[in-house]
Structure 1
Amino acid sequence: MQHPKISIVIPAFNEQARIERTLDRVLSCVSDRGWDAEVLVVDDGSTDHTPAIIKRWMEHHPGLKLIHNRGNRGKGYSVRNGLLQAAGEIVMFTDADLSAPMEEAERLFAALDSGADVAIGSRWLERQRQTIHQPLYRRFFGRCFNAMTRLVMGLPYKDTQCGFKAFRRSAAQVIFRLQRIERWGFDPEILFIARKLRYVVREVPVTWGHDERSQMSYLKDGAKMLEELAIIRWNSLVGRYDKDIAAMKDTSGMVTPQVERPVPVEAVRR
């Protein structure tokens, strides 16, 4: 069986209002660019018509697949669930609101082609690329969180939270099996793991426009993300990542995904 070159993962929770527009834009981009790609939508326990809409689109688009989480597990869990099942040589995820246009993925792919293992979209490297700016309070909380992330995690990136990231398959299969955070704080964790494994991470400026329908609450979810930063740091201090990495090393000392924490049993393609 021939695998696609690119896998695009879209985590979705109660997205019936915009999922059709998202699918149309993503699938049109795939067709227009001539990408050899599959599109995997991970339904995170939606209680609306999101899964039914996706299934209807699947009838006419064989490259579109639906993955179900059992209940609402969080964005980090959904991204991990999708990327570990993705078959492409290059795997990426994008938010369902497509704040970064799908066409901007070519910037991520170019970074991987030039030697990076991980390419992360950034809203802050070239601010003039922002087409619709966030409200001032969101910008304030976002910049504060990023500053805290740089301080606590030692991450040098201007934007860890942009939901637009791509990976070489070999890197993703290792990084996401080591991931422990299941909700909003997973982004700094996977970047922390990537640096720990000495993968080449390249931050890439992308065009981006704020969507007012964002489901994230900066007060509630922001507090949880700060808690998750502390958990990541604690997991590192007590050697949990080192232990998992050691379990994944083969006889030559290379880290491979052959010895792994299992992919969730409910993560089957349907």
Structure 2
Amino acid sequence: MNGISVVIPAYNEEDRLGDTLSKIKLYLDKNHDRYEIIVVDDGSLDCTVDVANDHDAILIKNDSNKGKGYSLRQGLSAARYDLILFSDADLSTPIDELKKLIRYIKKHDIVIGSRNMSGSDIQIRQPFIRSTLGKIFPFFVNLIVIDRIKDTQCGFKLLKKNVVDRLIPHMKTDGFTFDVELLYLAKKEGFKIKEVPVRWLNDKKSKVSVIADPVKMFMSLFRIRFS
């Protein structure tokens, strides 16, 4: 079906989600005739669900905190339109960067935003530890799993629905390395991937633990590659 679906995983995002949904809706109203916005609530303990309902988003609720990857699988599977964007709830990559991705989607199957390419515009930088991990992790991704991708973790990716329908049933990652598994499987299946530099603003309220999550992410690279 012609149109675009926007999928947003959200966990305890009551403070940011309303502004994010308003910006996305305003942009889509101006630029797309047919669209849907899907929020996947990942067992939030705050009023995330109420915020999603107040902004007329399609709501999917996990019965407990399952993880970003699990939530994205639910949201992507439910999306109806030919193009599907998934974005972080903090909208660190502004929604108007979507036009850059759409520019390439006709000749590619997946177009991903990147913070690590020439031309990327990092307007608010991460703290030193996060920034350092953000440079180390791509090295190991390229070494262990998939090469020639500079930034697998930017939460701003545009996919064709046939790609989603093909890959999601085979995906197992529940956590933050969902993106790595997605791109690894896409490349194995012969889908064309395009990486595009985008604007990005660090959000100080990131849900990623600088100690626990990187360890889990590094370990999961081996599972993705050798499972």
Band the TM-score falls in, shorter-chain normalisation: over 0.9
- The 5 Å alignment of 1:23-62 reads 23-58=21-56
- The 5 Å alignment of 1:18-97 reads 18-58=16-56, 64-97=57-90
List per-residue Cα deviations over 1:36-76 (Å, max 9, x = no partner).
21000000111111101211222xxxxx2111112111000
Structure 1 match to 2:220:
228
Find 1:204's aligned residue among 176, 183, 196. Answer: 196
- Contact (CA 8 Å) 2:77, 2:165: kept in 1 or not? yes
Report sequence identity in percent. 36
- Contact (CA 8 Å) 2:9, 2:71: kept in 1 or not? yes
User: How far 1:128 moved relative to its partner?
Assistant: 5.1
Find 1:103's aligned residue among 96, 100, 112. Answer: 96
RMSD: 1.2
How far apart are the structure 1 equivalents of 2:195 and 2:127?
Answer: 24
- Give aligned pairs, total: 227
Partner AA of 2:65 in structure 1: N
User: How far 1:233 moved relative to its partner?
Assistant: 1.7
- Contact (CA 8 Å) 2:69, 2:177: kept in 1 or not? yes
- Contact (CA 8 Å) 1:118, 1:202: kept in 2 or not? yes
Q: Describe the shift of the 1:128–1:197 C-alpha distance in structure 2 as closer, same or farther (beyond 3 A).
A: closer
- Does the alignment pair 1:190 with 2:188? no
How far apart are the structure 2 equivalents of 1:165 and 1:189?
Answer: 13
Structure 2 match to 1:258:
none
How far apart are the structure 2 equivalents of 1:131 and 1:189?
Answer: 28
Structure 2 match to 1:255:
none
Structure 1 match to 2:145:
153
Unaligned runs of 5+ in 2: none
Structure exhibiting the larger radius of gyration computed from Cα positions: 1
How far apart are the structure 2 equivalents of 1:122 and 1:128?
Answer: 7
How far apart are the structure 2 equivalents of 1:56 and 1:120?
Answer: 30
- Contact (CA 8 Å) 2:114, 2:120: kept in 1 or not? no
Unaligned runs of 5+ in 1: 59-63, 236-270
How far apart are the structure 2 equivalents of 1:53 and 1:92?
Answer: 20
